[in-house]
Amino acid sequence: MGNSFGQAFRIHTFGESHGGAVGVVIDGCPAGHRIDLAYVQEWLDRRRPGQSHLASPRAEADQVECLSGLVDGISLGTPITLVVRNKDMKQDHYADLQDVYRPSHADYTYDKKYGAKAPSGGGRASARETIGRVAAAAVAEQILKALCPSLEVVGFVDRVKDVQADISPIYTRTQVEAHPLRCPDLKAQGPMEKLIIDAKKAGDSVGGTIYCVVRSCPVGLGEPVFDKLEADLAKAMMSLPASKGFEIGLGFASTQLYGSEHNDSFIKVDDRVRTATNRSGGIQGGISNGEDITMRVAFKPVATIFKDQQTVDRQGQELVMKPKAGRHDPCVLPRAVPMVEAMALLCVTDHYLRQLPFEKARGPHTI
Amino acid sequence: MGNSFGQAFRIHTFGESHGGAVGVVIDGCPAGHRIDLAYVQEWLDRRRPGQSHLASPRAEADQVECLSGLVDGISLGTPITLVVRNKDMKQDHYADLQDVYRPSHADYTYDKKYGAKAPSGGGRASARETIGRVAAAAVAEQILKALCPSLEVVGFVDRVKDVQADISPIYTRTQVEAHPLRCPDLKAQGPMEKLIIDAKKAGDSVGGTIYCVVRSCPVGLGEPVFDKLEADLAKAMMSLPASKGFEIGLGFASTQLYGSEHNDSFIKVDDRVRTATNRSGGIQGGISNGEDITMRVAFKPVATIFKDQQTVDRQGQELVMKPKAGRHDPCVLPRAVPMVEAMALLCVTDHYLRQLPFEKARGPHTI
Amino acid sequence: MGNSFGQAFRIHTFGESHGGAVGVVIDGCPAGHRIDLAYVQEWLDRRRPGQSHLASPRAEADQVECLSGLVDGISLGTPITLVVRNKDMKQDHYADLQDVYRPSHADYTYDKKYGAKAPSGGGRASARETIGRVAAAAVAEQILKALCPSLEVVGFVDRVKDVQADISPIYTRTQVEAHPLRCPDLKAQGPMEKLIIDAKKAGDSVGGTIYCVVRSCPVGLGEPVFDKLEADLAKAMMSLPASKGFEIGLGFASTQLYGSEHNDSFIKVDDRVRTATNRSGGIQGGISNGEDITMRVAFKPVATIFKDQQTVDRQGQELVMKPKAGRHDPCVLPRAVPMVEAMALLCVTDHYLRQLPFEKARGPHTI
Amino acid sequence: MGNSFGQAFRIHTFGESHGGAVGVVIDGCPAGHRIDLAYVQEWLDRRRPGQSHLASPRAEADQVECLSGLVDGISLGTPITLVVRNKDMKQDHYADLQDVYRPSHADYTYDKKYGAKAPSGGGRASARETIGRVAAAAVAEQILKALCPSLEVVGFVDRVKDVQADISPIYTRTQVEAHPLRCPDLKAQGPMEKLIIDAKKAGDSVGGTIYCVVRSCPVGLGEPVFDKLEADLAKAMMSLPASKGFEIGLGFASTQLYGSEHNDSFIKVDDRVRTATNRSGGIQGGISNGEDITMRVAFKPVATIFKDQQTVDRQGQELVMKPKAGRHDPCVLPRAVPMVEAMALLCVTDHYLRQLPFEKARGPHTI
């Protein structure tokens, strides 16, 4: 279980890294919307490995096919099934790792839970599983564009190891996509790139953080007390492979301030209640307040490295793993940008569609 | 909606801060277990305000009553309903705040979503809502003690503003409870206490972090890909009032390391596969690996302060709010310790009960 | 588990027949509606035992109390908790049945599943559990009256054993309530009453059917393919104690017709598409079509009788059970009428609130 | 929404009758079981149209393909995706029905709910949607065979219009499959066949009932109070296209008996508690008691007939529909047999897997 996400816009992902296909069933997509599969393909291309010298050279076309839910590009209100065939299954790459528990991978825990041998390439724990999420998010974004046109989600690489980008400008997705690093801060790009290339040369890997903002989110998304918007965003992000931390608004930095320094005063701007500052990150009491929703996700340095490592095999024998060169990213961050955006979009779309009934269901009384 | 948590051990909390009662219905508690209500009361007493000079003086007895699910202290397998009456409803305290949106509180967002006026004392956004969670966790802990006796959950105050505790010792809950701060590091207690008392005197508030560890968790809890154990823990923690960040294992700090520095080698200890280090925080691929599950939760400085603040009222008028002295905590951290432990217990119990079928349902083949 | 019903208007019932209280938590009730507790009490009084010489003499006041979710009678959008205390717990009545599996009761199956001894009075399998459902339905009906004023739900006793009422008139609830039998057909009342009283004298019991109609239901409720409106109604009704069958529209009788006799032609009435007949019972393809939703529920003769019966006790000994006079209904049908109406209301309210987003979420295209 | 069924063995079906494919994602299938796709194909062949002169001549190969969840035929514990391509899309057959609401079909309600024009062939309301259910059931049956080998599910045609089969013998599936009618009563086959062929000649259709039995079901399946086993079976069956009624055990006939005639006495047989009769149909208090689970499902005469019918088109014009010969069944019953068995299997497998934890989670106390 655990392969479904969302309530009103609910997705079910399926597929192993090295099985026949990966994909998603989207349940709850409203009827009557035009869904452009070419746009879904654009998203998949952003997520796809082999985009640049910074990423894994695995050569997958990742061509999306729609099996159900659309007629002439229009949503029927029935489940939309999107599938991507797996093609480049170089299982021999992993042949000598079949029985070895790779350190900080899911091999050992999957084996203990499911009795499945070290899944070549990672099985459901592989980043390839995120294809279904990204495809679904590309549909979600089209729905949101129709229902709530001003809303937009932009993520970017915020930090690689200790090289921090300037997050203060209002970056567009076009700016982010202009460089394969997906860091729109021109000054940070050089040092970040050097870190990654040096790590690659050393057979090592680096981590960092992604910053993501949801702009023009309507007031009122989020359902206290357990389905607070930030709680669902946290779950969404922490379900991504290699993510290790999440924060909303000022997050951990907020703990260094006094309340009087952290509180966001309410002000009135053009007849609308807004906040003078946005340290809360656009959510108060678990409900969006109309300001930018800002969050940060931490990604560990990926576990696949090309150095000798101490480990144990399936038979319980200790050994030193001496990996041959494979095709993994030395840094997951650039490809994690569309994944983070995807989860933010899925989460916001889900809450947006949950919220719609409230407006009509609301009775005449206030107290 | 959004008032339920868990799948196999599922809780529904109810109650407003200033209504008749708060409480919880627990669905999925296995039959045949002895549940001690006095132990539930102990947990509620830990969470209760007015425990020390460091906390809110609100004088609630918080006496738990069981309405269903137990006969002679034994669980029937039917829903267990636990209720705490609200008593000390000094609504007049808040009378002059009725129509004012308090900065960084949920007043504005609740009003926009539900059309309910600034809920005196916070409504469902109040920390009082956590009574149901804590009561349910006290039941969960008794079930875990019976089914998985070695498992234990311990949380403590890790940092207040910029005063960091030493987290390296293996603290017991007894050590944590020995001081009202719930920080077991004797050296940190003094500076932390001073920070809080100074903030109180200044009418201000401070935040910080809670560290929490689950010890002796069995291997195999967590359900890829969306219900990864760390994803559910993140959601659990981010649903607590005032929480702003979550991390598992080394979390954000992991992003400063190379993969070769972060990976946890597998070793063999007494015929069991273990890891030489535990930077992953006891979870790999979303599934517990048997090592300590370690996490950290960030709590902002609480929004209630006794200084003048710029804001807007329900009628859209800007004003300066001049709060009289009330009864809130200058620092939520000591009382947040049992809340964090509660959410960890609920999450682990839920996944533990979900996991049980696997052991029997597993077929004879491995691949 | 299994104590929750509904998705958008979701209820969680709790409480054993002979525990402290029974009740319900309602999650998803829209904010801003006036909820009259006196009206909830009216519903509970209809369900209550001891209403007439035809029913069980158990003397429960069944006084409802609201613990959360309302302020000054207005819904807050938070969980509404309604509780009824158990008072008349004559456990000694059942003392000599403690270890006996009463035929066709739930004693044996509950014992095997939960290890709980023959629950005196029936535990969760008792009709007393339905208090929570009925209380929630009384809230649901008030919401529906506000959002969809013309909709109404009326149920009545359709048949007792072999005495069939005339179902062709359009009965009102007032007509149904005019006689304790809750059969509005004046000609059928006498023979039905005689059957029940004779059965009571003989220490026996009788069953029958309830007919229920939902009038002026909007078009569009129901979610293919598994959550078809009739599928959810079937589940709702078959979850009632002692129910053994469900049918929608002509139901089993439809199987005796040719398609040409059964199909409902579409016609136009006052610019609205309607059907010339309503053999389908107001639902087509799992979605309401705007015609009356008509259904029938079969209730077995209740298992509690005052005759000697062969059975087995908890220790596995065969014995003859010689029950003393107790306080059960010889015929559950009159009290089952509000239960059937309650489940219909809960089901329709749930689907109505699920449906609301569709209207706004619908895009501009049709295909 | 509404495209998912089950909790522990959860299926998501997708696909329109005339889209690219239909199929199912199965979530919760235990790992380590051998799943034979040839056996899944056998089930699909039983469901497939065009099997005999009694059924629709639509020529679909209905070849199943597995996209995920199996490696070398062994389940991984990850979602199993099974897909059947649509091939024979004779949309022109329906061209002149594009804008006509066919009486007693889902055309009108789907149009009002989703804004989708009269779906040629029925869209999700078509019996073709059941391919996903049947494929999932073929997997479920293999899991059950491994975990609970003696359990078996057998359904058969019980009645066509007014021709009733003798249900007293213990029929095997082999006997049922021996005749395309799927009625194992040799005496009833002739009259039933004549009814169907006569109806076909007359351009008309007939309905009837399916009887289904679950043999050797373990004691303890079913979750009070809403997820009673019979409640979930009722929902399962009433979600099948054209079903109009459901009953468990004696069902509606039970209402004609006195309690003393209906009650099932407990007896002891070979150290096991059993019932002397089985009028309850194997379920008491919502929980299986180990006796045969017996049920009956009513199917209306299918709506597609070849006679003139009064109706309305999408533009609101009344008209007389004069259908040309198409390819539908004059009687859905023979093909409904595997559908009913499939839903029974899905329901029982789901409850069986939900139940497993109870056995281990049960504590030492009984009360």
Residue C314 pLDDT greater than 60, yes or no: yes
Residue C88 pLDDT greater than 70, yes or no: no
CB pairs under 8 A between B and C: 133
What is the percentage of chain D residues whose pLDDT exceeds 70? Answer: 89
In this prediction, residues A19-38 reach a mean pLDDT of: 93
Chains contacting C (3+ CB pairs below 8 angstroms): A, B, D
Under the banding of pLDDT at 50, 70 and 90, the label for residue A328 is low
Single-letter code of the amino acid located at A182 = R
Please give the Cα distance from A121 to A268 (Å, whole number): 54
DSSP-derived 3-state class of residue A53: coil
**Range from A56-65, A356-365, B288-297, D343-352 carrying the lowest mean pLDDT:** A356-365
- Contact assignment for A78 to D16 by CB distance below 8 Å: yes
In this prediction, residues A236-247 reach a mean pLDDT of: 98
Chains contacting B (3+ CB pairs below 8 angstroms): A, C, D
- For residue D309, count other CB atoms closer than 10 A to its CB: 22
Q: Is D266 left (phi over 0), alpha (psi -120 to 50) or beta?
A: beta
Which residues, 6 or more positions from C308, have their beta carbon under 8 angstroms from its beta carbon? C320, C321, C322
First to last CA, chain B: 42
Instruction: Decide if C238 contacts D231 (C-beta within 8 A).
Output: yes
Under the banding of pLDDT at 50, 70 and 90, the label for residue B357 is low
Under the banding of pLDDT at 50, 70 and 90, the label for residue D121 is very low
Whole-number pLDDT of residue A19:
82
Looking at CA atoms only, how far is residue A248 from chain B in angstroms?
Answer: 6
CA D297 to chain centre: 9
Whole-number pLDDT of residue C366:
53
Find chain A residues with C-beta within 8 A of D83's C-beta: 67
DSSP state of A79: P
Under the banding of pLDDT at 50, 70 and 90, the label for residue C291 is very high
CB pairs under 8 A between A and B: 384
Q: Is the dihedral of CA D104, D108, D114, D117 positive or negative?
A: positive
Which residues, 6 or more positions from B350, have their beta carbon under 8 angstroms from its beta carbon? B5, B6, B7, B8, B9, B10, B232
> Quick one: B61 exposed, middle or buried, by C-beta within 10 A (0-12, 13-18, 19+)?
middle
Under the banding of pLDDT at 50, 70 and 90, the label for residue C365 is low
Chain B residue at shortest CA distance from D358: B30
- Contact assignment for B356 to D353 by CB distance below 8 Å: no
Please give the Cα distance from D276 to D264 (Å, whole number): 6
Task: Tell me the pLDDT tens digit for each residue of C168-198.
Answer: 999 999 999 999 999 999 999 999 999 999 9
- Contact assignment for A20 to D66 by CB distance below 8 Å: yes
DSSP-derived 3-state class of residue A298: strand
Residue C58 pLDDT greater than 60, yes or no: no
Please give the Cα distance from D299 to D241 (Å, whole number): 8
- Helices D333-361 and D130-147, interaxial angle, to 10°? 40
- Contact assignment for C300 to D110 by CB distance below 8 Å: no
In this prediction, residues B150-157 reach a mean pLDDT of: 97
Whole-number pLDDT of residue A116:
80
Whole-number pLDDT of residue D279:
98
Whole-number pLDDT of residue B116:
79
DSSP state of C120: G
- Contact assignment for C14 to B83 by CB distance below 8 Å: no
Interface of D with A in 22-51 (CB under 8 A): 22-23, 25, 27-28, 31-32
**C271 touching A (Cβ < 8 Å):** no
What is the percentage of chain C residues whose pLDDT exceeds 70? Answer: 89
- Tokens 């239901």 belong to residue: C217
Whole-number pLDDT of residue C61:
79
Tokens at residue B278, please?
């535990």
- For residue C95, count other CB atoms closer than 10 A to its CB: 9
Interface of D with A in 57-116 (CB under 8 A): 65-71, 76-81, 83, 113-116
Whole-number pLDDT of residue C121:
46
- Tokens 């001690």 belong to residue: B36
**D353 touching B (Cβ < 8 Å):** yes
- Tokens 């039959």 belong to residue: B31
In this prediction, residues A332-351 reach a mean pLDDT of: 97
Under the banding of pLDDT at 50, 70 and 90, the label for residue D106 is very high
Task: Tell me the pLDDT tens digit for each residue of A101-129.
Answer: 999 999 999 988 888 875 554 578 888 99
Whole-number pLDDT of residue A355:
82
Task: Report angle CA C270, C271, C275 to the nearest 5 degrees.
Answer: 80
Give backbone dihedrals phi and psi of B128, rounded to 5 degrees, phi first.
-65, -25
Under the banding of pLDDT at 50, 70 and 90, the label for residue D125 is confident
In this prediction, residues C22-37 reach a mean pLDDT of: 93
Q: Spell out a b/e string for B120-157, using b for 16 or more CB atoms within 10 Å of the CB, else e.
A: bbbbbbbbbbbbbbbbbbbbbbbbbebbeeebbbbbbb
Q: Regarding beta strands C64-68 and C80-85, do their DSSP bridges make them parallel or antiparallel, or are they unpaired?
A: antiparallel
Please give the Cα distance from D367 to D364 (Å, whole number): 10
Tokens at residue D210, please?
């399916």
Find chain B residues with C-beta within 8 A of C71's C-beta: 16, 19, 116
- Contact assignment for D273 to C232 by CB distance below 8 Å: no
* Arithmetic mean of pLDDT over chain A: 90
Nearest to D52 by CA among D181, D171, D242: D181
Tokens at residue D184, please?
């194992």
Task: Tell me the pLDDT tens digit for each residue of C195-217.
Answer: 999 999 999 999 999 999 999 99
- Contact assignment for D83 to A67 by CB distance below 8 Å: yes
Max Cα separation, chain B?
Answer: 70
- Contact assignment for C262 to D207 by CB distance below 8 Å: yes
SS (HEC) of B341-366: HHHHHHHHHHHHHHHHHHHHHCCCCC
Tokens at residue B231, please?
């994803």
* Arithmetic mean of pLDDT over chain D: 90
Please give the Cα distance from D80 to B174 (Å, whole number): 48
- Contact assignment for D259 to C304 by CB distance below 8 Å: yes
Find chain A residues with C-beta within 8 A of D71's C-beta: 16, 19, 116
Under the banding of pLDDT at 50, 70 and 90, the label for residue B121 is very low
Under the banding of pLDDT at 50, 70 and 90, the label for residue B294 is very high
Chain C residue at shortest CA distance from B25: C14
Separation in Å, CA C18 to CA C88, C93, C234, C304, C321:
8, 12, 29, 17, 22
Find chain C residues with C-beta within 8 A of D245's C-beta: 245-248, 251-252, 254
Nearest to A304 by CA among D339, B211, D88, B262: B262
* Arithmetic mean of pLDDT over chain C: 90
Whole-number pLDDT of residue C127:
85
- Tokens 């029936």 belong to residue: C122
Tokens at residue A222, please?
């989020």
**3-state DSSP helix/strand/coil % of chain C, to nearest 5:** 35, 25, 45
- For residue D231, count other CB atoms closer than 10 A to its CB: 29
Looking at CA atoms only, how far is residue C72 from chain D in angstroms?
Answer: 32
- Asked if residue C225 has a cis previous peptide bond (ω within 30° of 0), the answer is yes
CA C18 to chain centre: 21
- Contact assignment for A360 to C362 by CB distance below 8 Å: no
Looking at CA atoms only, how far is residue C37 from chain A in angstroms?
Answer: 17
Residue B104 pLDDT greater than 90, yes or no: yes
Find chain D residues with C-beta within 8 A of B78's C-beta: 224
Nearest-by-Cβ selection for C365 from A33, A147, A367 = A33
Under the banding of pLDDT at 50, 70 and 90, the label for residue D1 is confident
Please give the Cα distance from D59 to D272 (Å, whole number): 50
Please give the Cα distance from A58 to A198 (Å, whole number): 20
**B117 touching A (Cβ < 8 Å):** yes
Instruction: Decide if D347 contacts C303 (C-beta within 8 A).
Output: no
CB pairs under 8 A between A and D: 132
Residue C362 pLDDT greater than 60, yes or no: no
Looking at CA atoms only, how far is residue D72 from chain C in angstroms?
Answer: 32
Give backbone dihedrals phi and psi of C29, rounded to 5 degrees, phi first.
-70, 125
Looking at CA atoms only, how far is residue B14 from chain C in angstroms?
Answer: 5
CA A86 to chain centre: 21
Whole-number pLDDT of residue A121:
46
* Arithmetic mean of pLDDT over chain B: 90
Tokens at residue D161, please?
């219009």
Report which listed range, A22-31, B93-102, C315-324, is most confident. Answer: A22-31
Nearest to B151 by CA among B141, B159, B163, B136: B141
- In chain A, DSSP assigns E strands to 4-5, 10-14, 21-27, 64-68, 70-71, 74-75, 80-85, 152-160, 163-164, 208-215, 243-248, 266-269, 272-275, 283-284, 287-288, 293-299, 309-312, 318-321
**Range from B94-98, C271-275, D113-117 carrying the lowest mean pLDDT:** B94-98
